[in-house]
Amino acid sequence: MASIYFYALSLTLLLLSISSPVRCFDLERTDNVALYWGQSSQAGNQEPLGHYCARDSVDILIISFVAKLSGNEKAPVLHIAPMTDGDMNYATISDDIQYCRRQGKKILISVGGYGSGYELNSPAEATAAANQIWGIFLGGGQGGGFQRPFGNIELDGVDLDIESPVGQEGVYWPVFIDQLRSLYQSESGRGGKSDWLITASPQCPFPDVILSPALLEKRSWFDMLFIQFYNNPCAPSNKESFNFNEWAEWARSSSLNPHVKLFLGTPANVAAASSGGDMPLQDLLAVASETMEDCENARVFWKGTSTNSTYNPFGGMAFWDASWTTAEMTSTVKSGLSGSWSKIAASGGAGSQFFKRAAQPVRDGETNAKVSRSRGARHVKSRIAANSSRHGHTIRRQGHQRRLHAHLNRRVSI
């Protein structure tokens, strides 16, 4: 009996000795990796949430989408595609969220995606919608009377992937954000969770058409932006119009949050963004490294006049979506970003020209946002590729893919 006990104890100690420590999420890093999860854009190949949280190379999972939002008596609608086995068990997802937390991951809920149904038409609607999201997914579930799909589990924050129809220019999203921030602060003031997050997924033309009221003039607080550098001319594959520099300058001079982090958003596969933006992974990592260095050189340049002298806005990379990724891929991304940052930090950001790429050309004195708006950038169209593995892809901008695969989703009113 004693020998059996000794063997069991030895095995336990061995396992503990070889297990790697859990890496806690650090918002200030430049090598964070985010994955959108929930839409299975590679049809039928989406693994459970916990599958992706098991990777040390992944830091943030964004559950997508709350596709119907309401500021009145209607309940929001959560769209999540079934797993590879066709299962859509919220209890299983809840268990996975708890597992992800134990692995040090941040889990966000994303509002938006393709289609209408989440427009905000007044300050009162915006406030009520924020209260609903708080009560259903975040910290307002205790006695709040809300039906919560994940039970008492509180997610870490909200992501805004806003694609309202033309004419809905986002006027009331700042009110939504203000109310959410107020709820966050009231919870922190009661001694509760204090690290709630507000993020957004704007398209790369600056400023995003619908989120511009929240982004400009230091209006609204964002912790992170997962900027979609694809399906648009400002993708990194277009070197002359790649415009991370515009967003970095906004972060330095015009963001309400002086420490906002910017992510290079990219498709995880060429088929995940059929209208352009995909690059070979090593080429993409080279762009990320150069962009990270640009931001660090800019930080050094502005150090003498900035009270925020240690801040580098580059936060990492975000991929649409998880179903296309492999553990090898995300590990390559993580090690590539970490290696680039180690070299840049060691060099001290020593004075090479920063923001090397030119800003996007402007036509006839118009801003890029106005050009996009005049083209009907937010028109909603459907495109069904019946005989393709991309079946059901829809359009993010006119002539471009949007990020919802509604035919795969099970609508659940919550």
Tell me, yes or no, whether 97 lies in a domain.
yes
Could you give the number of structural domains in the chain? 1
Instruction: Report pLDDT for 69.
Output: 77
* Residue that has been written with the tokens 């004419």 in this structure: 167
Tell me, yes or no, whether 43 lies in a domain.
yes
Provide the β-strand partners of residue 261.
Answer: 224
Q: What is the Cα–Cα distance from 414 to 412, expressed in whole angstroms?
A: 6
* pLDDT, tens only, 307-321: 567 889 999 999 999
Are residues 157 and 108 in contact, defined by beta-carbon separation less than 8 angstroms? yes
Res. 262: pLDDT tops 70: yes
Of residues 89 and 290, more confidence is placed in: 290
Instruction: Report pLDDT for 44.
Output: 80
- DSSP codes joined into one string, 143-186: TS----TTTTPPPSEEEEE--PPTT---TTHHHHHHHHHHHHHH
Tell me, yes or no, whether 8 lies in a domain.
no
Confidence of residue 404 (pLDDT cuts 50, 70, 90): very low
Tell me, yes or no, whether 15 lies in a domain.
no
Give, in degrees to the nearest 5, the angle at Cα 390 between 385 and 391. Answer: 45
* pLDDT, tens only, 17-62: 345 567 799 999 999 999 999 999 988 889 999 999 999 999 999 9
Q: Is 64 helix (H, G, I), strand (E, B) or coil?
A: strand
- Number of neighbouring beta carbons within 10 Å of residue 310: 9
* pLDDT, tens only, 332-376: 999 999 999 999 999 875 444 444 444 444 434 334 433 333 333
Lowest mean pLDDT, pick from 84-93, 191-200, 254-263: 84-93
Of residues 17 and 139, more confidence is placed in: 139
Tell me, yes or no, whether 13 lies in a domain.
no
Instruction: Report pLDDT for 83.
Output: 57
Q: What is the mean pLDDT of the chain?
A: 79
Instruction: Report pLDDT for 189.
Output: 66
pTM: 0.82
Verify whether residue 47 is a known catalytic residue.
no
Res. 299: pLDDT tops 80: yes
Instruction: Report pLDDT for 57.
Output: 99
Q: What are phi and psi of 35, to 5 degrees?
A: -125, 135
Structural domain boundaries enclosing 358: 24-413
* Residue that has been written with the tokens 């889990």 in this structure: 107
Q: What are phi and psi of 36, to 5 degrees?
A: -80, 135
Q: Which of 163, 187, 246, 293 is catalytic?
A: 163
Q: Is 130 helix (H, G, I), strand (E, B) or coil?
A: helix
Tell me, yes or no, whether 127 lies in a domain.
yes
| Mean pLDDT of the region 125-143 | 88
Tell me, yes or no, whether 324 lies in a domain.
yes
Lowest mean pLDDT, pick from 58-72, 166-180, 318-332, 362-376: 362-376
Q: What is the Cα–Cα distance from 127 to 70, expressed in whole angstroms?
A: 10
Tell me, yes or no, whether 248 lies in a domain.
yes
Of 182, 193, 262, the residue nearest 228 (C-alpha): 262
Q: CATH number, domain at 101?
A: 3.20.20.80
